[in-house]
Amino acid sequence: MSKSTVITRDTALPSAWRYSVMRKVFMAISGMVLVAFLFGHWAGNTVLLDGELAFNEYLVWLQRHPILHYGVWIVIAMALLVHLAVGPSHWLKNRRARPERYYKRKYRATTWAARTMMVSGLTLLLFICVHVAQVRGWLVFGASDSVFRNLQTGFTRWPVTTLYVLGQVALAFHLYHGVWSLFQTLGAHHPRYNQWRRPFAVVVGLGIAFLNIALVLLNIDAVRAVLR
């Protein structure tokens, strides 16, 4: 009787498997950079609560530190490009690995946030484009040379505010799965601490989304009037 050869993922497609791992590592590292930026971006934008003068002074301060200002944006742009380049590629390769549809899907070791990463990612990309257009005054409403006024004018329109909130919801789901999985990707997991990975991912995802939405709502005059 001839011995049958046991074929595993490592022996059959070692190079493809290593490439898959590297894609995940690139996604994890670029994701960490973007999460750090989100917290920093929110912290800087809290100046909005102090009014237009304080916000303009903050922008002037950034302009006086071009290395810091443009250095951060270069790093963020590179991280975003990596995320946009590797993410869809990784998703497509996983789809092609399973060309045949299951008759009945049973999701056990995954979550809804994980299964909709591509949807939430595309939603975030659309949100970023609209948000940048709003800040720069490229949209029809309230075009101005003042970033502060562009933001305030835009958020008085319910479609803009609604899109912003939906973008933050997509961000919460995207961050939840991304933060939860990056620990596994980077090998930062231990049986003693793994139980905290999911709560931590929830706090990061919901935390950033809540802080951003609260910051926007607190800058709408109608909301301020109600709170008073």
Domain residue spans in the chain? 16-96+111-227
Sorting pLDDT into bands at 50, 70 and 90, what band is 69? confident
Of the chain, the percentage scoring pLDDT greater than 70 comes to 72
Residue ranges in the chain assigned as alpha helix (H)? 9-12, 14-45, 52-63, 66-97, 112-115, 117-136, 147-155, 158-185, 197-217, 221-227
Other C-beta atoms closer than 10 Å to the C-beta of 179 total 21
Judged against a pLDDT cut of 50, whether residue 190 lies above it is answered with: yes
Q: Global pTM?
A: 0.76
pLDDT at 79: 92
pLDDT at 96: 63
Structure tokens at 217: 């709502």
Judged against a pLDDT cut of 90, whether residue 180 lies above it is answered with: no
Q: Which of 21-30, 162-171, 192-201 has the highest mean pLDDT?
A: 162-171
Asked whether 80 and 35 are in contact (CB, 8 A), the reply is: no
Ramachandran bin of 148, using left for φ above 0, alpha for ψ from -120 to 50, beta for the remaining angles: alpha
Return the closest-CA partner of residue 197 out of 88, 111, 76.
Answer: 111
Structure-model confidence comparison of residues 42 and 182, the more confident one = 42
Task: Give φ, ψ of 138 to 5 degrees.
Answer: -85, -15
pLDDT at 109: 37
pLDDT digits (tens, 9 = 90+) for 105-137: 444 434 666 777 888 888 999 899 888 888 887
Judged against a pLDDT cut of 70, whether residue 159 lies above it is answered with: yes
pLDDT at 118: 82
What distance in Å separates the CA atoms of residue 212 and residue 37, rounded to the nearest whole number? 13
3-state class (DSSP) for residue 132? helix
Q: Mean pLDDT over residues 199-205, rounded? A: 89
Asked whether 164 and 132 are in contact (CB, 8 A), the reply is: no
Note the residue count of the chain: 228
CB-based contacts of 155, cutoff 8 Å, min separation 6: 161, 164, 216, 219, 220
Structure tokens at 5: 């050869």
Structure-model confidence comparison of residues 216 and 171, the more confident one = 171
How far from each other are the two terminal CA atoms of the chain, in whole angstroms? 85
